[in-house]
Amino acid sequence: MIRPTLPDGLVVFVKRDCATCVLVEPVLADLRGRGRKLTVYTQDDPTFPDSVESVDDTSLELSWHHDIETVPTVIVVDDGHETTRTVGWDREQWEALVGEDELGTDLPDWRPGCGSLSVDPDLATGLEVRFGGSVLRSRRVEIAGAEDDWEALHDRGWSDGLPVVPPTEERVLRMLQGTTRRPDEVMATVPPDLADCTVEKIAVNAVLAGCRPEYLPVVIAAVEAACTDEFNMHGLLATTMPTAPVLIVNGPIRNRIGMNAGINVLGQGNRANSTIGRALQLVIRNVGGGRPGEVDRATQGNPAKLGFCFPEDEEGSPWESLAVERGFSPEADTVTLFPGEGPRCVVDQLSRDPHDLTRSLAMNLRATTHPKLAMAFDAILVISPEHAARYRDAGWSKARFREELDQYLLMDADDMIRGAQGVAEGVPVDFAGSRIPKFRPDGLHIVHAGSGAGLFSMIIGGWVNGEVGSNCVTKEIPT
Supply the mean pLDDT for the chain.
Answer: 96
Superfamily of domain 9-131 in CATH is Glutaredoxin (3.40.30.10)
Range(s) of the chain covered by CATH 3.40.30.10: 9-131
Per-residue pLDDT tens digits for 149-183: 989 999 999 999 999 999 999 999 999 999 999 99
The predicted-structure confidence for 416-470, as pLDDT tens digits, reads as follows: 999 999 999 999 999 999 999 999 999 999 999 999 999 999 999 999 999 999 9
The answer to whether residue 479 scores a pLDDT higher than 90 is no
Res 1: pLDDT: 61
pLDDT in tens, 76-106: 999 999 999 999 999 999 999 999 999 999 9
Tell me the pLDDT tens digit for each residue of 281-298: 999 999 999 999 999 999
Crossing angle of the two packed helices 199-209 and 169-176, in degrees rounded to 10 = 110
pTM higher than the cut 0.95? no
pLDDT at 142 (0 to 100)? 85
Lowest average pLDDT, out of 91-100, 132-141, 323-332, goes to 132-141
The pLDDT tens digits for 46-83 are 999 999 999 999 999 999 999 999 999 999 999 999 99
Please tell me the distance from the alpha carbon of residue 105 to that of residue 118, in angstroms, as a whole number: 31
